Amino acid sequence: MIRMICILLFLALGTGFLHSQNTQVYVSAHPDDWQLFMNPNAYKDLQNPENKVIFLHTTAGDAGCGTGCTSYYKAREEGSLRAIRFMCNAINHQLKQGTDMNKTHVLINGHLILRYSYANAVAYFLRLPDGNYTGVGYPLHQHSSLKYFYEGSVPELIAIDQSTAYQSLDDLVTTLSELLNYESNGLGQVSLNIAETNAERNPEDHSDHLTSSFIMQKVARKLGLESVRLYEEYATNKKPINSFDADFLISAGTWGATASGLSDHFHNSTWDAGHNAWIGRQYFREVRLAELEND
């Protein structure tokens, strides 16, 4: 009898482990970053239906236009959403889910955040001000930026659509930590994919990319994660192509879907020589958080 109980308990626990959810998080400072720097890893994580894959966009990528300029930030968001739908439908061409995504706003730590879901993908848009390349921000946002907020130079960071405001760095870190807890439901592993913050490995990267990564490293420690994946970004356009065959097609197709979102919303297509130089190039390493303190 005891042996039978043990077997049943083992099977129950085993089934739970087999179906425990892994939450893969791709942190994108702008809505068109992850497609060029973190793919095909994002696509491969989506291929496992047991995974929940989160695309977390920290800034609006509005280039100082705010909600004006024919809503440039919305065009970039649409590019990201199209890329997500493209990947999900490339994995399962019989999905037949169309363009409709489950759109809602969730209240996390007192902050209202825009959320979309589609198949096993989730996208969040925090819509924080674009910080400009060096982090000096733009006049429309009183030169607020993630970099200045991280350094304590600005007292609060207000979403460009006025949906919420973060009163301190701890407020933002706590919100992001609770967001990931909300999505993972305390089940399985949470994995973070973020920008490389070692300047020798990832030279001349955008301030929003780097600061988003530093913030997420704080989130990782708050969640008790042991390691993160760090991606080289801007400088990879000068490195050799290292994604081939099906991986290259996914890299190109995802970027094409992204570019169509901009052109369909009356902005310049990013299907150009400058941006296309990143297609097929993905360079990353997995690092223990303890090692980053001395990196």
Phi then psi for residue 91, to 5 deg, are -70, -45
| Better-scored residue on pLDDT, 14 or 103 | 103
Average pLDDT over residues 48-60: 97
| CB atoms closer than 10 angstroms to residue 55 | 26
Handedness of CA 125, 199, 41, 223 (dihedral sign): negative
| CB atoms closer than 10 angstroms to residue 18 | 8
- Beta strands 227-231 and 190-195 are parallel
**Interval 120-173: pLDDT, tens:** 999 999 999 999 999 999 999 999 999 999 999 999 999 999 999 999 999 999
Average pLDDT over residues 14-29: 72
Cβ-based neighbours of 238, under 8 Å, separated by 6 or more: none
Tokens standing for residue 219: 């989130």
User: Which residues lie across from 53 on neighbouring strands?
Assistant: 24, 121
**Interval 86-97: pLDDT, tens:** 999 999 999 999
Measured in whole angstroms, the distance separating CA 269 from the mean position of its chain's CA atoms is 21
Q: Token match 């009898």: residue?
A: 1
Residue-level pLDDT at 10 = 39
Is the whole model's pTM more than 0.95, yes or no?
A: no
Distance between the two ends of the chain, CA-based, in angstroms? 55
**Measured distance CA(168)–CA(171) in Å, rounded:** 5
| Better-scored residue on pLDDT, 209 or 185 | 209
3-class DSSP string for the chain: CHHHHHHHHHHHHHHHHHCCCEEEEEEECCCCCHHHHCCCHHHHHHHCCCEEEEEEEEECCCCCCCCCCCCHHHHHHHHHHHHHHHHHHHHCCCCCCCCCCEEEEEEECCEEEEEEEECCEEEEEEEECCCCCCCCCCHHHCCCCHHHHHHCCCCCEECCCCCCEECCHHHHHHHHHHHHHHHHCCCCCEEEEEECCCCCCCCCCCHHHHHHHHHHHHHHHHHCCCEEEEECCHHHHHCCCCCCCHHHHHHHHHHHHHHHHHHCCCCCCCCCHHHHCCCCCCCEEEEEHHHHCCC
Handedness of CA 195, 198, 201, 204 (dihedral sign): positive
**Interval 226-280: pLDDT, tens:** 999 999 999 999 999 999 999 999 999 999 999 999 999 999 999 999 999 999 9
Tokens standing for residue 25: 């998080």
Fold of 21-292: Rossmann fold (3.40.50)
Residue-level pLDDT at 187 = 62
Given a cut of 80, whether residue 5 has pLDDT beyond it is no
Strand order in the sheet with 102-108: 102-108, 111-118, 121-128, 51-59, 22-28, 190-195, 227-231, 284-288
**Interval 237-251: pLDDT, tens:** 999 999 999 999 999
